[in-house]
A = this chain, B = another copy of it.
């Protein structure tokens, strides 16, 4: 693991690192924010998964999470959104290929050799960061924006014993029924829609739910609301009596101005949930 930068931020350290990823078969860059409390011992972790076209950098610089994380004594991890590099498949569209990994393990050509973002985020990167940083493995939460909200919800519902709190900001809530999803799942996973179901938050909510409360935030003026369809997810949640909080906030679009506006609520949500985890 190579340190690209380490910078003081809100009394802690914002670092950017690069490593050779086995899962993705290329070098991957990620960012970690350690709050001041990490100097005294392992701190809880909030994974932040980013949206289409983003790298590790967008949320790190624009989501405004570090101040709240410092206050809460919680670390932030910002993975990249796809494999990258000259030998990695790509597409001219902004919503397929590099910058658009959708947090799945691709099985189809030409994507299968590198596009294994599920394994990268769920298995490989955790092993690395828990080995290198003072992080409490028993207290992990996960959140994300847009495509990253999709990733956070699907990963948390699949591994609820690992991710003990979950939230999403403007998530792609039902990709199997959206143009943000059907195209990419067809490309990465093939036309058999049964392989898509484990990667659709609404279908997972109908099938299993989540053992704790789920926070979903959505801007009412979001220009992509018709592609995000939070109503499908919330309906599925209410149908099963899933503890949840859904907010549709007036005047906000899909940008980081919105993400940063709700970040305090999300960091505090995760901090409160992770404080309830009973550790043996």
Within 8 A of B (CB), among A207-246: 212-213, 218, 220-222, 225, 230-231, 234-235, 237-239, 241-246
Within the complex, what minimum Cβ distance (angstroms) separates A152 from chain B?
A: 19
Whether A277 is near chain B, meaning CB under 8 Å from some CB there, is no
* Chain A interface category by residue count: 20 to 34
- B238 with A243: CB separation less than 8 A: no
Check A235/B245 contact, CB under 8 A, given A213-B250, A250-B213: no
Partner of A249, one of B218, B222, B243: B243
How far, in angstroms, from A193 to B244 measured CA to CA in the complex? 33
- B220 with A243: CB separation less than 8 A: yes
Whether A272 is near chain B, meaning CB under 8 Å from some CB there, is no
CB-nearest residue of chain B to A233? B238
- B220 with A246: CB separation less than 8 A: no
CB-nearest residue of chain B to A213? B250
Within the complex, what minimum Cβ distance (angstroms) separates A239 from chain B?
A: 6
- B213 with A241: CB separation less than 8 A: no
How far, in angstroms, from A58 to B124 measured CA to CA in the complex? 56
Within the complex, what minimum Cβ distance (angstroms) separates A236 from chain B?
A: 8
0/1 per residue, A160-176, Cβ < 8 Å to B? 00000000000000000
CB-nearest residue of chain B to A243? B250
- A247 with B245: CB separation less than 8 A: yes
Within the complex, what minimum Cβ distance (angstroms) separates A178 from chain B?
A: 14
CB-nearest residue of chain B to A242? B248
How far, in angstroms, from A172 to B33 measured CA to CA in the complex? 45
Query: Within 8 Å CB of A242, what residues of B?
Result: 220, 248
- B243 with A248: CB separation less than 8 A: yes
How far, in angstroms, from A246 to B215 measured CA to CA in the complex? 10
A-B contact list, 27 entries, CB within 8 Å: A218-B238, A220-B241, A220-B242, A220-B243, A221-B241, A225-B241, A231-B234, A231-B235, A231-B237, A231-B238, A234-B234, A234-B235, A234-B246, A235-B235, A238-B246, A238-B248, A241-B248, A242-B248, A243-B250, A244-B246, A244-B247, A244-B248, A245-B245, A245-B246, A245-B247, A245-B248, A246-B246
Given A243-B248, A244-B247, list of 14 further CB < 8 A pairs?
A213-B250, A221-B241, A230-B238, A231-B235, A231-B237, A231-B238, A234-B246, A235-B235, A237-B248, A238-B246, A243-B249, A243-B250, A245-B245, A245-B246
